[in-house]
Each structure stands twice: as C-alpha cells, then as structure tokens.
Structure 1
Amino acid sequence: MKIINNSDSVIIVLHEIYGINQHIRMACEKFSTNGYDIICPNLIHVNQPFSYDLQEEAYRHFINNIGFYSATKQVKQLILEAKEKYNHVYLLGYSIGATIAWLCSNGENMCDGIIGYYGSRIRDYMNITPKCPALLIFPTEEKSFNVQELVDSLGKCNIDAFILNGKHGFSDPFSENYCAQSFEKAERLVSNFLKK
C-alpha cells in the first residue's frame, strides 16, 4: 500500500501480525493527511488480513513462515530505496512492526526516527542501541512481561519510552482493547516526535 503526496518525508508503516487491516489503513490515511508519503509493505505475504479472533493463527503464520529476520531484511531494503527519494525516512510500527522498526534502528544513517506501539518482543533484542531517535509507546498491561521493567531497562540515549493506560492494542479503534484517552495521548506524542 502506498499513498503519495510528493512529500520529502515518508513514513513506512509496519503492521501487526494481522496484516494490512482496517486499523493499519486508517493509520496510513491519517498520516497521509498530515502531508507525509506513506509506504506500508505487506510483511506477511497474504492477500487478506487475519481477523482478530485468529490471533494465534496469525502469530504462528508470522513466526513459522516469515520471522523477524526476514521481515527486518525486507524493511531495511525498503528503507534504502526510500532514502534515494526522500530527505526523511521514518518507521512506524505496531506490535511485531514495532519490534521490526527497533531491529532496523541500529543501522548507521538508516532512518530519521522510529515509532513503536506495544513492541513487546523488543525485550528479546535489548542488545540494540538505536542510532536514530526512538519513540516507544507501551500499554500498562501485557500478559507476558513486566512493562515497567522493560521501560526502565530502555534508559539509553535516543529513546523516549512511555507507558499509557490500557492493554496491547489500545490505539486500535477496531480492537476490544481500544482506549480513546490513551489513543489521543499517543497521537500527541507521535505528532511532537515527528515535528522535532
């Protein structure tokens, strides 16, 4: 998916395990109305996104058929192509997309910034130190790990990490975990980050 406004800045939007669904399309359109060009690659290589009730199946598909290494390689290639056309390249990822953005952040002169929403697997890659500004937004509640401990251990330069009220998916209006107040706070954080 691409939206071209002939901007000098592009946001590469990285979706969750579900693929390019309503939420991701809406996010792309919103950033497009702010004047950015948008590129949203299909990282899971399926024509139709998984529905939310197929979370386990979607996760298994990503882990077994794609994986973080392959997806990161694909996104890094996309960044290199984008850098030939754009003055500014940003990555914005949700969940696995946030972890992929994180994995791309330590390349020299790769991106101008990364934004990650609830990148829970970042905890598996704590050896990475971003070479660009990073905005990481986490929910207060995650089933599989202690969010506060992760955020405390991210105290490196270049990283702004925030914990907003809610669960994984709080910024997705189509998710049962949607939290309007946290969504709005996150929107302000992202807007301020992109203006820097």
Structure 2
Amino acid sequence: MNLIVVSDIFGKTESINKLTAQLSPFYSEVTVIDPYEGQNISFEKEEHAYRHFQQNCGIKKLTTLLEKEAINSKGKIDIIGFSVGGSSAWEISGKDISTNIRNVVSFYSSRIREKTNVSPKCSTSLIFPATEKSFDLEPVIQAVENKQNVEVIRTNYLHGFMNSESKNFSETGYKYFSDWLAKKAP
C-alpha cells in the first residue's frame, strides 16, 4: 500500500514532512506532490503563496500531477490532500483510475464547491473547516454529504489548520487529525 500526499499552495512544508514521517511506517512508499515539484519556497504571507500558486501551477496542473502519480503507482494507494491538493484528490476520487485508490482524505478543499458533481468511486473523507471566509460551506456540504462513499467531518478549526505555515494553524487540530490519519492507515 502506497500513500500520496498532495500539498496546499505552500508546497512542501515542515508540516508535510512531519506528517509523512509519522505515516511512512504504515506504507510501502510515500510520495509528496506539491505545486512546485519539490522546490522549497518560503512565503512571507499567505497571499504571496496564493499568487505564486496561480502564476506557476494552478489546480489543473496539480490535478494532472496527481492523476499521473495515481496511474503509475503500483498497487493500492491512499491519498491525502490539503486545500487545493484536497480539491485535486476529490476530483481524482470520481475518475475511473480510482480503482487503484483505497481511500481519499481531503482537508478544507474549498474548490470542491466548483465540482460537487463528482461522485467518488472510493472511500472519501472530506474534512471541512468551521467556516470559509469567501463562501458559505452549507450548500457545498449539502451537495456532497449524501453521496455514496463520502464521509463529511466538520471541525472547529479554520482553513489551513494542518499547516504550520498558515495563520490558521492549530497544534491541537494537527495532533488530532494526524493521529486520526494514522488510525485510518492500513
């Protein structure tokens, strides 16, 4: 069993490294997909990271990178995605290639609001923040919560709580969900 972790707009961060180190004992192989293909980029502000992501990658490219990795992966895989990475994971969950996928976990993936027509073909957990500042979460949750293979989890944390680079990072939330992920591992 392999694990693919898809980062948010910050790319490969200390939080991603910490999480993959915690989960790697459960998997044969762990791969990180990030918008900058392994380059470590430090952003002063979240707005800078967002602008850099839009100019240098975009969600379509990130989804294509994930799809290629999922297709080329040997054996079953779990996918964990954060923010835009979670949106890419959500999109992949509904594609025919998902027969290789055992489980998808998507953290605070706000862009799924544009893809509520996706019907996951594998077990998919959607971890929603308490609120989103740019849109109302309720219609999105209502559009996906009764779909087959979908588990919706509402948290008291804000978008970015799993990433120590984010202003919304929560040590408590990170600890709880990193332990939760370890329990979901094979």
TM-score scaled by structure 2?
Answer: 0.87
Matched position secondary structure for 1:30: helix
Match of 2:11 among 19, 23, 30: 19
Structure 2: distance between partners of 1:187 and 1:45: 23
Cα distance change on mapping 1:188 and 1:42 into 2, 3 Å: closer
Contact 2:129-2:157 within 8 A present in 1 as well:
yes
Q: Distance in 2 between matches of 1:31 and 1:46?
A: 19
Partner of 1:28: 20
Are 1:49 and 2:37 an aligned pair? no
Count of aligned positions: 183
TM-score by length of 1: 0.83
What residue number does 2:155 align with? 164
* Corresponding residue number in structure 2 for 1:96: 84
Q: Distance in 1 between matches of 2:42 and 2:47?
A: 10
Q: Which secondary structure state, in structure 2, belongs to the residue aligned with residue 74 of structure 1?
A: helix
**CA displacement at 1:71 relative to structure 2:** 1.6
Pairing 1:104-119 to 2, within 5 Å after superposition: 104-108=92-96, 109-119=99-109
- 1:145 CA displacement: 1.7
Residue 5 of structure 1 corresponds to which residue in structure 2?
none
Is the Cα contact below 8 Å between 1:114 and 1:134 reproduced in 2? Answer: yes
Residues 137 and 186, structure 1, Cα contact 8 Å, conserved in 2: no
Task: For 2:80, give the aligned amino acid.
Answer: L
- Any runs of at least 4 consecutive aligned residues in structure 1 with deviations exceeding 4 A, and if so which? none
| Distance (Å, rounded) in 2 between the aligned partners of 1:19 and 1:63 | 13
How is 1:1-196 mapped onto 2 (pairs within 5 angstroms)? 9-45=1-37, 47-51=39-43, 53-82=44-73, 85-86=74-75, 88-108=76-96, 109-155=99-145, 156-173=147-164, 175-195=166-186
CA RMSD of aligned residues (A): 2.0
2: CA distance between counterparts of 1:36 and 1:152? 36
**One-letter code aligned to 1:96:** V
| Unpaired segments ≥5 residues, structure 2 | none
Q: What per-residue deviation string (whole Å, max 9, x for no partner) do you get for residues 31-50 of structure 1?
A: 11334521012322462223
